[in-house]
Amino acid sequence: MKLSDLNEKTLEAIAGKKSKALEKFLSMGLPSKKSEAYRYFNVENLLDNEYETLEYVPKSIEVGEQIEIVDGVVTTAPQGMRIYYEACDQIDDDHFDPLYYLGHALYPQTIKIEVDGDAELKLLHRFTKSNALINYRIVLFNQANRHATVYETFDAKGIENTLVMYGYDMHIAKDSSFRLFKVQTMQEQNYSMIASHKINVAKQATTMYKSFDLGGDQALQLIKIDLGERAHIDAQHLLYLNEQSKRGTVSQIIHKGEHSTSNQEAKNILDGDARGIFDALIKVEETAKYTKAYQNSKAILLHEKAYMISKPQLEIYIDELEAAHGSTTGQLDPKQLFYLRSRGISAIEARKMLVIAFANTMLETIRDTRHQELIRAEFEKVFYAHAKELS
């Protein structure tokens, strides 16, 4: 199947019936270079590829330490986890990403995960098929007044030319706190990913979304976040890219409720010919008086061919708020480099120290030291594997 060949008739044949998601997708059409969300991402190349489509046949779920989803099917989960396959009845009405709707339309049966009580979950996505379109969506609920953490990782060894389209519809319950740590290391020519998320943060809930996107290949995370009254999102994105990689974040944080707060920060380290994307809008609606919204992107280019697209944006419809945004792109600070070298540290080692330091300022915000150490180790592994080329 080629996604670029899809039309109303073929989609209806695949989906079985005309759903709301399908109608929304048809009204928006396939993304292209002209689409706002995909302007800086070569989505057309991905849509033009021929992919094998998969059958998503639910299997019995074995008991394991973590939730494991293999090629879109849950295979293991901790004892007592509530996981179902069912149609999503709360699809967002106004997502900016047509592929959010296409994902729902192509396979309406979503993986529904109910996080029970205070919980810490590990979620591993494993991809094993080459030349495949792997498409699945996860609907995630947590409970009010509870605290949950999801630590999400990805594994795909020995495959090539696969496109993964996945995403969350998260419903963060009122008065709860929820933290998601996403750590994704990708290899060149392994698989590409379009991850289209919707996160609804209910009244007085606090959500943390921290993504650590490392390595190569093509991937884009498109996130729409709705904030209710006194809801808070802390979104942080660390990007370390090398070679020909094109990856990044396109996001919309919509302040809908009064006293809602958001803090979004991106740190981007780009080596080789990599292109990083941070195209992020914070919108404060008329109903969201007394909002506080902060957004910042910093990028370090380690190679003359590396390129960062940074577009922090604020769209504000009220006066009663605090908001600020900013963006900087540059190279390693020559004063800092010289300081380290003046103490006998080699130029190459000094550069490595400064790159790690730049990442550290984000890694150190992870309060749980176990998570912090795991993510730091992954970052350093990927970085040092490519750092030999630093000069």
Partner 1 sequence: MITLDIQNLEAKIGDKQILNGLNLQLEAGKVHAIMGPNGAGKSTLSKAIVGHYDVAIVGGDIFYKGKSIKEMEPEERALEGIFLSFQHPVEIPGVNNAYFLRTALNAKRKHEGKEELNAAEFLRLMRTHLEELGMKPDMISRSLNEGFSGGEKKRNEILQMLVLEPDVIILDEIDSGLDIDALRAVSEGINKMKDGKRSFLVITHYSRILDYIEPDYIHVLKDGQIVKTAGPELVAQLEEEGYDGIIVNE
- Report d(CA 112, CA 141) in Å as an integer: 8
Q: Smaller CB distance to partner 1: residue 236 or 260?
A: 236
- Shortest spacing between CB 369 and partner 1, in angstroms: 14
- Shortest spacing between CB 91 and partner 1, in angstroms: 41
- Please name the residues in contact with 129: beta carbons below 8 A apart, sequence gap of 6 or more: 52, 54, 71, 159, 162
- Shortest spacing between CB 267 and partner 1, in angstroms: 10
Among positions 257-316, residues that touch partner 1 (CB under 8 A) are none
- Please name the residues in contact with 347: beta carbons below 8 A apart, sequence gap of 6 or more: 337, 341, 391
Contact 263, 237 (CB under 8 A): no
Q: Smaller CB distance to partner 1: residue 325 or 341?
A: 341
Q: Smaller CB distance to partner 1: residue 285 or 378?
A: 378
Angle between helices 347-363 and 334-341 (to 10 degrees): 120
User: Residue 197, exposed/middle/buried by CB under 10 A (0-12, 13-18, 19+)?
Assistant: buried
For position 333 contacting partner 1 by CB under 8 A, the verdict is yes
Q: Which residue stretch of 104-112, 274-282, 296-304, 336-344 sits at the interface with partner 1 (rule: CB under 8 A)?
A: 336-344
Q: How many helices (H) and strands (E) does the chain have?
A: 7, 21
- Shortest spacing between CB 275 and partner 1, in angstroms: 24
- Shortest spacing between CB 337 and partner 1, in angstroms: 9
Give the DSSP H/E element, type plus range, for residue 28: helix 20-28
Q: Smaller CB distance to partner 1: residue 60 or 342?
A: 342
Of 144, 338, 370, 385, the one binding partner 1 by CB under 8 A: 338
Q: Smaller CB distance to partner 1: residue 144 or 357?
A: 357
- Shortest spacing between CB 335 and partner 1, in angstroms: 5
Among positions 136-175, residues that touch partner 1 (CB under 8 A) are none
Beta bridge partners of 245: none
Q: Which residue stretch of 152-160, 296-304, 335-343, 378-386 sits at the interface with partner 1 (rule: CB under 8 A)?
A: 335-343
- Report d(CA 317, CA 314) in Å as an integer: 10
- Shortest spacing between CB 332 and partner 1, in angstroms: 11
> Strand, coil or helix: what is 360?
helix
Taken in order 15, 130, 39, 285, is the CA torsion positive or negative? Answer: positive
Q: Which residue stretch of 105-113, 120-128, 231-239, 333-341 sits at the interface with partner 1 (rule: CB under 8 A)?
A: 333-341
Among positions 339-368, residues that touch partner 1 (CB under 8 A) are 339-347, 349-350, 353-354, 356-361, 364
Q: Smaller CB distance to partner 1: residue 348 or 385?
A: 348
DSSP state of 2: B
Contact 81, 113 (CB under 8 A): yes
The site for partner 1, by CB under 8 A, has a size of 25
- Shortest spacing between CB 302 and partner 1, in angstroms: 16
Buried b (16+ CB within 10 A) or exposed e, 2-18: ebeebeeeebeeebeee
Q: Which residue stretch of 55-63, 173-181, 294-302, 338-346 sits at the interface with partner 1 (rule: CB under 8 A)?
A: 338-346
Q: Smaller CB distance to partner 1: residue 104 or 376?
A: 376
Q: Smaller CB distance to partner 1: residue 3 or 362?
A: 362
Let me know the angle formed at the C-alpha of 338 by 337 and 342, rounded to the nearest 5 degrees: 125
Q: Smaller CB distance to partner 1: residue 318 or 353?
A: 353
Q: Smaller CB distance to partner 1: residue 324 or 347?
A: 347
- Report d(CA 298, CA 197) in Å as an integer: 23
- Shortest spacing between CB 346 and partner 1, in angstroms: 5
CA 344 to mean position of chain CA atoms: 40
Interface residues with partner 1 (CB under 8 A)? 333-336, 338-347, 349-350, 353-354, 356-361, 364
